[in-house]
Amino acid sequence: MGFQSDNARIREKIERLARLKGLDEESALEDALDAQLSVRRRKENTPEARRARLEKIVEEINAIGPLPPDQQFDAVEWDDLGLPK
């Protein structure tokens, strides 16, 4: 057996899953873990979850605040009318 556990319930579940899938215990456990990770990834990749992560990043950036005046610069030069040169 590739997976070792002192928990008899866990061992029994892995053995049962392996029999049901026709795989060795390690492969059955790997498949089960991959399936659960896939479900998590789908939940984490919803538009709402992406928006929440983006909003958190924006909050962190806003918390930094502006640069001190001596470190601020504008990469674009402007004319007297406020238009880029």
Model pLDDT for residues 37-81, shown as the tens digit of each residue: 999 888 888 899 889 999 999 999 999 988 888 888 878 888 999
| Residues 16 and 23: beta-carbon distance below 8 Å | no
Question: And the tokens for 13?
Answer: 């579940």
Residue 22 falls inside a structural domain: yes
pLDDT at 55: 96
Question: pTM value?
Answer: 0.51
Residue 31 falls inside a structural domain: yes
Residue 70 falls inside a structural domain: no
Region of 76 on the Ramachandran plot (φ > 0 left; ψ -120 to 50 alpha; else beta): beta
Number of domains in the chain: 1
Tell me which residue range forms the domain holding 39: 8-62
Residues forming beta bridges with residue 84, ordered by sequence position: 78
Quote the DSSP letter at residue 66: P
